[in-house]
Structure 1
Amino acid sequence: MNDLSKISSTDLGLERRLPLPFEGVDVNFCRNPQCSGLGLSPDPYKRPLGSPAAPPGAIRGVVAGSRHSEFFTCPTCSTNHRLKNNKAIFEEYNRLKDLQQVDPIAPGCRNPECENLGKSLAAHPDQYRSFGKTAGGDPRHQCKCCKKTFSIGRATRRQKRSDKNPLLYRMMVNGVPFLKMCSIAQVSYHDIYRKIDFIYDQVRAFRAEREVFDDIDWMKVGSRFATDSQSLKMNWPTKRERTQIIVQHLCTAHARSGFIMEAALQFDDKASHDKVEAEMALVGDDLLSKCFREHGRLWSKTEFEDYISKLQKQKRIKEEELYQLPHSGALVRYDIMQFAHALRLRDMVGEAEGKFVFVTDGDAGLKAAFCAAMADLIKQDRADIALVFFNKKMNNDLRNAAWSAGRSILAGQTGLSVSQINKLSDEDYADLVDTEIAASLVGHDLRMGFHWPYHTKSEPDRRIELLTDRPGRDYRATARLLRLATLRSVDSYFNKFRSNLRFAARPQVSETNARKAWDKYYLYKPEIMVKLTEIYRFHHNWVGYGSKETPAMKLGLARGRIYERDFL
């Protein structure tokens, strides 16, 4: 089929009905894994009566819907797919990529007004010249463009109290509030913020060098990934604005090792809502639908307030659950972040051989994002997408009761007693469960959902939708896939995250102040939340204690545990 999406509308004299692709990113196609049109770009032009006909074989379909809610209806499977802003997805993809792959302390020009900003000495040696040494003997270089100089030396060369770094790092990742850090380490709040900045830069520099997945044998270390999100809250910025500030923390974990492949907050600390609104007004974006805008990645203040007001009128949220935009930085549109996140995962698996399994929370946005990003792998029968739903509101007693009920069901089906089942090894138990599930799958359409009968404590009442269910697949292989379709690895990380970062704990609710959520240890600066989140992710992957091997060792990225002296 001809790829009309790359042809300018002026070349044909036609108006576009689909957003333009941007830098190779185009997600506006059928995203149904069961459809033959999956991943095929539809004809992007409106073709009124008398206009040139679409090329033979081009997919047409219908584009309809109100402003901001346009969707494409696939002519093959009749499913609807909400249109997305390709440029915004690419921009967010680049932001996430830079967070993981750009070394912020690489020697280079630091002048924000210079053309060489961001160009390291190692990658662009022709842009710099040697310029002697500092008084301490460190090499100095000069930027040829702006004539500014910079020196190269130990990361701690400008610190007077570098001996505090390991202690403060350990307190940061072990739930110690800032006030107690000041008391224990005998430092000020100002010192703590500077140390966070320093450790954050060191962590990013370490990851940029070491987190390279090109040589990972996914078939050996495991090819399953789990994706979920959690809500993180901050205190209100002023006494006049006592409404919650909430951002989503979206993560993907490698199931077998627990390595957090990709994680980021729905927040850009380098942007500004006021600047976004001004730029949108300048180019007329406020008159366009979100999917056709020049600036479609971030919320503007006006649109966010209108959106919250609309939800309140529809009674989809309660008044006390209203939240506001962060008072610094900018909130990223969550659907855009989901697509960018999925594209980052597609990059990480690369062109590796074998079959991958992507398990996500039952969020419609994640479903669309992963079906779009993995479309080529799905068409090659090299990727399975599974959605998982379970009862998250059960307390521990109810979870134990569900687990016991699941064992009783298995005992009744197999003729074994519960005590006999409990004595089975993990391998024998898995084999027994696969046998029983395989027998129950005959004639079952897994796209409609499968209720897992043998409840686990971590995911009671689990239901799995296998979006890539294919006829002819071996029942026993399908049973194993359903057994392993779990979010346990990423949810386990979330539990550790909330336990070990004091600001991430669930909020207290005031009974005497209109049930406003507030916590004296919560953060007021959103940018600090970004940095602590990245620091803890690094700690979990490379440093974390509690087992003989860290997730990085299990994945094959490290031969041994990383210690504070290795990056501080």
Structure 2
Amino acid sequence: MGKKSFQKQPPRIPLPVEGIQVNGCRNPTCKNFLSLNSIKKFDGDEKELPEAYQRGGSYRVAGTGKHTASLVCEICSGRKKQGENITAVSTTLKSNQAVHEELSRIASYLEENPLVCPNEACDSNIGKKPKAVKKNGKTSTGNQRYQCLHCGKSFSEKPKTRKQTKPHLNKLLFRLLVNKEPIRRIAELLKISESTVYDKIRFIHRQCLAFAKSREKKLEKIDFERLYLSTDRIILMTNWFRRNDKRNSDLYGIATACLDSSYVFAFNFNFDGAVSLSEAENDSKETGDHELAKHHRKHARIWLSQEFNEAAKSRPTKEKLPVAGSLRDEIQIKVLVDAKYNASGGSEQIDPTKQLPARGAMVHNEYTMLAHFFLLKRFFKNTEKTRFFLDLDSGMKTAYISAFREEIAEGRSDGFLVRTSKNKTNDEKEKLVAEFRKMASESTGIPVRKLTHQDLKGVTNNLIVERLELPIRIPNSPERWIEHPWVSKAEPEKMVAAVTDLSKYDVMHQANLYRKVTLAPADRFFMNIRRMSTYFERPFQSGTSMSRIWHGYSAYNPEMYTIIGDIFRVHYNYCGRSSRKVTPAMKLGLAKAPIPEEKILYYKKY
């Protein structure tokens, strides 16, 4: 029997946790926008809470499905009834504790003492007591063992690499790893076993994170004047692990890169290898946690088997969608699909062909996206202004607004949605670029061959000003879209919409902001990692079944995507390639020269 009858009734709206409050109105022009963020601490008396938290206040909680509830902004609801074009009236309630847990996970490499109790039900992990552990001997392999002083659970550090018997191979292995050599081939070239290769990869990963920590801790103190940031996602697939069950597991990665420097600030996946799914599910059943509303659960962060299977059954394997003939059609279809399947903002495409990973736990993607933006918020706390260019992905806009709510309200952060064409051939791209330059030549009277970048910027700004006067309305989308006039081979067609209020700027300032909107820095990083890491290559269809996808180089252990992703990000930011003498870290001010691999490998000797 569960213990739910003995549990204290949770508050109607989740309270902030460590300053994190992701619930609230998403409309930056609404008076309710900051109403839930005004509470700083809570002494247990709900009568002392701000008006927005109380019944009959400016928010109404409505049930939208099994164990799910939405938060309805009464102010926006009233404005909509009066005829205003407002669609973001309600949002699905989320667990602030789950966001805090996920942020702690992805930011653990920045902490001085990242040791945490692995028992998710421990008071130290649900915010009731500070983390406290003591040393408790060593394991048979020599790793330090610890004991939690709250729940008594014993645990050890993440396994350290074995003693580096052939350290001279580390540098070569590092280079092979980021130059598209598969694990088996690396083992053959270096004349070592595959298990030794994996051991060295974990050593390189630890060193990369230690090095990144030493540089990226400085980001919190740098006074950047402006940062233009592109955020996009990547979907990866792990191979099936049982021959009689050929369902794949999808993992979702999110990355944010700087427009001016190409520096990738974070690259995070919705997977936690340190969590035991079976233990979490047993605890959930014993305590009745699974019967609570999702935003009040202790295990709200991870996918439990029952809810995953329910989500898979609710979506057909093959679904007929309208054929998109233009970018406008694509946006319309995306809005419709999100409204039907992604109301919670998760964006996972879960159907009967998918399954949970065999080890570790898959995190609800919306919590990884939220934690990603809160990590960026930490990095940019001294930045005067940030501009985010976001892929049109379910939940990404909500995650950005939730994390940067105060900065948006103060006018220090603006966001834009982007949708680009990805199905053009090289010939089609070149034709579109030529037509754009010809149009610019006719507009300015300057011959095509003499057009400068400044000339093209001026023409683009003028066209944006014209298009802002007649924006494109997409049904069920609150944004005002425009067709972006700038054409490049990287983005031959593009539609853009602002998600924050730009009326505070004059029209030419707005045009300048729209002109800069691009996903190119994040896409460039994804292109590089796909080309230079076998793990990130696109998979192919297996046999005659179109629902079975397999790749010889894809990971069986999902944690390898996080490990290789971290390693590649550090190498991409600091080491560069032979043809690139100026690295992203140098442009950003975190390095004075390209960093040799050995300086990362031996930054700290374990």
Per the normalisation by structure 2, the TM-score is 0.77
Quick one: which of 498, 505, 508 aligns to 2:530?
498
After superposition, the C-alpha distances for 1:370-401 in whole angstroms (9 at most, x for unaligned) are 11111111111111111111222333333333
Q: Which residue of 2 aligns with 1:93?
A: 103
Q: Secondary structure at the match of 2:221?
A: coil
Q: Tell me, in whole angstroms, the C-alpha distance in 2 between the residues paired with 1:76 and 1:305.
A: 37
TM-aligned CA deviation for residue 409 of structure 1: 4.0
Aligned length: 512
Q: Which residue of 1 aligns with 2:295?
A: 291
1:74 aligns with 2:79: no
Alpha-carbon contact 1:73-1:80 (below 8 Å) kept: yes
Q: Which residue of 2 aligns with 1:165?
A: 170
Runs of 4+ in 1 over 6 A off after TM superposition: 51-58, 108-112, 141-146, 316-321
Q: Which residue of 2 aligns with 1:324?
A: 355
After superposition, the C-alpha distances for 1:318-371 in whole angstroms (9 at most, x for unaligned) are 99982211111110100111111111111111133x221011111231111111
TM-aligned CA deviation for residue 313 of structure 1: 7.4
Quick one: which of 455, 459, 465 aligns to 1:432?
459
Alpha-carbon contact 1:102-1:208 (below 8 Å) kept: no
Structure 1 spans left out of the alignment, 5+ residues: 1-12, 45-50, 113-126, 129-140, 147-154
Q: Tell me, in whole angstroms, the C-alpha distance in 1 between the residues paired with 2:515 and 2:351.
A: 39
Q: What amino acid is aligned across from residue 360 of structure 1 in structure 2? A: L
Relative to structure 2, which stretch is displaced further, 82-91 or 53-62? Answer: 53-62
Relative to structure 2, which stretch is displaced further, 156-165 or 440-449? Answer: 440-449
Q: Tell me, in whole angstroms, the C-alpha distance in 2 between the residues paired with 1:66 and 1:453.
A: 40
Structure 1 residues 310 and 17 mapped into 2: Cα distance closer, same or farther (>3 Å)? same
TM-aligned CA deviation for residue 53 of structure 1: 12
Q: Tell me, in whole angstroms, the C-alpha distance in 2 between the residues paired with 1:143 and 1:367.
A: 40
Alpha-carbon contact 2:440-2:456 (below 8 Å) kept: no
Q: Tell me, in whole angstroms, the C-alpha distance in 2 between the residues paired with 1:28 and 1:560.
A: 43
Alpha-carbon contact 2:221-2:382 (below 8 Å) kept: no
Q: Show the 5 A alignment for 1:208-287.
A: 208-212=213-217, 213-219=219-225, 222-287=226-291
Q: What amino acid is aligned across from residue 221 of structure 2 in structure 1? A: D
Q: Tell me, in whole angstroms, the C-alpha distance in 1 between the residues paired with 2:75 and 2:116.
A: 54
Structure 1 residues 166 and 445 mapped into 2: Cα distance closer, same or farther (>3 Å)? same
1:540 aligns with 2:572: yes
Alpha-carbon contact 1:406-1:454 (below 8 Å) kept: yes
Q: Secondary structure at the match of 2:275?
A: coil
Q: Tell me, in whole angstroms, the C-alpha distance in 2 between the residues paired with 1:102 and 1:319.
A: 37
Q: What amino acid is aligned across from residue 71 of structure 2 in structure 1? A: F
Q: Secondary structure at the match of 1:187?
A: coil
Q: What amino acid is aligned across from residue 95 of structure 2 in structure 1? A: N
Q: Which residue of 1 aligns with 2:375?
A: 344
TM-aligned CA deviation for residue 515 of structure 1: 5.4
Structure 1 residues 407 and 549 mapped into 2: Cα distance closer, same or farther (>3 Å)? same
Relative to structure 2, which stretch is displaced further, 431-440 or 330-339? Answer: 431-440
Q: Percent identity?
A: 30
Q: Show the 5 A alignment for 1:114-513.
A: 158-212=163-217, 213-219=219-225, 222-312=226-316, 315=319, 322-352=353-383, 354-417=384-447, 419-420=448-449, 423-442=450-469, 444=471, 447-513=479-545
**RMSD of equivalent CA atoms:** 3.6
Structure 2 spans left out of the alignment, 5+ residues: 1-7, 40-45, 78-88, 120-133, 136-143, 150-159, 322-348, 474-478, 602-606
Q: What amino acid is aligned across from residue 493 of structure 2 in structure 1? A: D
Q: Tell me, in whole angstroms, the C-alpha distance in 2 between the residues paired with 1:373 and 1:319.
A: 26
Q: What amino acid is aligned across from residue 433 of structure 1 in structure 2? A: T
Q: Which residue of 2 aligns with 1:63?
A: 61
TM-aligned CA deviation for residue 315 of structure 1: 4.0
Q: Tell me, in whole angstroms, the C-alpha distance in 2 between the residues paired with 1:34 and 1:464.
A: 20
Q: Tell me, in whole angstroms, the C-alpha distance in 2 between the residues paired with 1:442 and 1:76.
A: 27
1:39 aligns with 2:43: no
Relative to structure 2, which stretch is displaced further, 526-535 or 465-474? Answer: 465-474
Alpha-carbon contact 1:103-1:208 (below 8 Å) kept: no
Alpha-carbon contact 1:274-1:301 (below 8 Å) kept: no
After superposition, the C-alpha distances for 1:445-464 in whole angstroms (9 at most, x for unaligned) are 89311111333222232111
Q: Secondary structure at the match of 1:449?
A: strand
Structure 1 residues 527 and 42 mapped into 2: Cα distance closer, same or farther (>3 Å)? closer
Alpha-carbon contact 2:10-2:296 (below 8 Å) kept: no
Alpha-carbon contact 2:161-2:200 (below 8 Å) kept: no
TM-aligned CA deviation for residue 440 of structure 1: 4.2
Alpha-carbon contact 2:103-2:372 (below 8 Å) kept: yes
Alpha-carbon contact 1:156-1:162 (below 8 Å) kept: no
Q: Which residue of 2 aligns with 1:560?
A: 593
Q: Secondary structure at the match of 1:264?
A: strand
Structure 1 residues 550 and 527 mapped into 2: Cα distance closer, same or farther (>3 Å)? same
TM-aligned CA deviation for residue 162 of structure 1: 0.6
TM-aligned CA deviation for residue 404 of structure 1: 3.1
TM-aligned CA deviation for residue 207 of structure 1: 1.4
TM-aligned CA deviation for residue 287 of structure 1: 0.8
Per the normalisation by structure 1, the TM-score is 0.82
Q: Tell me, in whole angstroms, the C-alpha distance in 2 between the residues paired with 1:238 and 1:460.
A: 42
Q: Tell me, in whole angstroms, the C-alpha distance in 1 between the residues paired with 2:203 and 2:364.
A: 29
Q: What amino acid is aligned across from residue 271 of structure 1 in structure 2? A: V
Q: Secondary structure at the match of 2:314?
A: helix
TM-aligned CA deviation for residue 441 of structure 1: 3.1
Relative to structure 2, which stretch is displaced further, 24-33 or 463-472? Answer: 463-472
Relative to structure 2, which stretch is displaced further, 299-308 or 487-496? Answer: 299-308
